[in-house]
Structure 1
Amino acid sequence: MAKAFNPGRRGITGFLEPAERDLLRKLFDDIITILEPSRPAHEDPLAALIGLDMDVAVPTDPALLRLLPDAVMGDADASLEFRQLTERSLRESKIGALRAATLDLDKDKLVLDAEAAGLWSRALNDVRLVLAQRLEIRDEGDAERVHQVQDWGEADDVESYLSLVYNFVSWLQESLVQAMLAGLKSSS
């Protein structure tokens, strides 16, 4: 069974069972797959170098839209322009955090420095955003419905299983953030 993250002298430590590491590895890989855009064959190398993407469009997958939301509400043109200038780097940043967290899953005991803890927090948050979208969590009532599912043995449908995964990832992220905050308090 996973152990909550705790701050220590060597960094923030945590423990995950092999099955839990495998689950997180699959979740991180799934989010990477969602985030990786298909690139046109005629892509301008200079535009790619500076992060400009004129072929970008508003995502049709609601989960991807949750990861890459419109920046300017109510102004589609301004939002598209902002997306063209920033989406490539945002995708790359998110993918980088997910890959970095995946590499840490090769160890039985996790020991995270401040930078790695930040990457893990971002990776777990992106997983939670996608799961929340798939579970249609829109308000506190929806969240309560999801949090009521507690027993892995009773997960007999996709929604129950996703709810348990969401609850696990939420708990893991909360323990990481609490450890990060405790580490900040002890260093000041």
Structure 2
Amino acid sequence: MAYEFVRRADDMVMCRLDPQEKAIIAQVAQEVSDLIRADLGMGEEPEAVREAAGSDDPLARLEAEFAVDSPREPRDSAVRRLFPAASEEDPALAEEFRRLGQGDLASGKLSALGVVQRSIDRVGPTAAEIVLDEEAATAWLTGLNDMRLVLADRLSLREDEDLDTLRMLQQIAEDAGIDGDDLERAAGGTPEGADASGGDDGPTAAGPDLVLAVYDLLTWLQESLVRVVAR
């Protein structure tokens, strides 16, 4: 069972997680990182761009450099939550903001998720305390928030009230013996990016009940960490 974040006498921040909780959080952090990289095309360099970069034509090399630096607009609904458009009314302005800032923003998010994973990996597979300094605690806040946003998207949560509605539907489903697929459809349908047959590439592959439980765990940890850092 998880214990909330607290401030130690040496000013470090800590919480205690059991093996299953650590494994789940680390897995979600990895899947969110993979989702960001895949959807934004980070690390990809098409063959045509590589050839142009080695060209003797200065214009071709310049175009290749611009192509590599140009950010890809998010296509997955969850990634769009993490990288929203700066302006819905002005596409050109939104594109310029993406060009100037999306790469750094993505790198920061991936770095924070990496801190979450490494913090867990360092303590091994048994139940243990996760101990963070101020920099790591800030990274955990970013990582927990981004993981929650992705799970919220997969659960079709758009407003705070949607979470209460989903919990109510979950209880109704349990009382009536309704399966998880029926519950997910009642809560808002199959999320964008998910296979209607259940073959989802993201963190919802285990079903909405487990995803909701993980969402609650991440929310609880984030709230306790916010209180500790704010003090």
* Shared fold per TM-score greater than 0.5: yes
Structure-1 separation of matches of 2:117 and 2:220: 18
Structure 2 CA distance for partners of 1:75 and 1:13, relative to 1, 3 Å: same
Q: Which residue of 1 aligns with 2:34?
A: 33
SS at match of 1:105: helix
- Alignment match, 1:113: 133
Residues 1-188 of structure 1: matches in 2 within 5 Å?
A: 1-10=1-10, 11-36=12-37, 37-38=40-41, 39-41=44-46, 42=49, 53-54=69-70, 56-106=71-121, 107=123, 108-147=128-167, 157=180, 158-182=207-231
TM-fit CA distance, 1:8: 1.7
Contact 1:4/1:172, CA 8 A, preserved across alignment: yes
Query: Aligned pairs, how many?
Result: 176
The amino acid of 2:3's aligned partner reads K
Change (3 A) 1:146 1:170: farther
Q: Structure 1 unaligned runs (5+)? A: 183-188
Q: Does structure 2 conserve the Cα–Cα contact (< 8 Å) formed by 1:2 and 1:16?
A: yes
Note closer, same or farther for the CA distance 1:175–1:25 as it changes in structure 2 (3 Å cut). same
* Structure 2 unmatched runs, 5+: 54-60, 181-206
Report percent identity of matched pairs: 31
Asked if the contact 1:13/1:111 (under 8 Å) is kept, the reply is yes
Amino acid at match of 2:69: D
CA gap 1:46/1:181 in 2 versus in 1, 3 angstroms? farther
Shift of the alpha carbon at 1:46? 9.7
Task: Map Cα deviations across residues 30-84 of structure 1 (whole Å, 9 max, x no partner).
Answer: 010011143224266999x9xx822x23211100100111012311111011101
Runs of 4+ residues over 6 Å off in structure 1: 43-47
Where 2:149 maps in the other structure, the secondary structure is helix
What secondary structure does 1:167 align onto?
Answer: helix
For residues 121 and 146 of structure 1, the distance between their equivalents in structure 2, rounded to whole angstroms, comes to 25
Aligned CA RMSD, in angstroms, stands at: 2.6
Between Structure 1 and Structure 2, whose CA radius of gyration is higher? 2
Q: Is the 8 A contact 1:53 1:87 kept in 2?
A: no
CA distance in 2, matches of 1:168, 1:147: 14
Q: Tell which deviates more after alignment, 36-45 or 158-167.
A: 36-45
TM-score, scaled to structure 2: 0.69
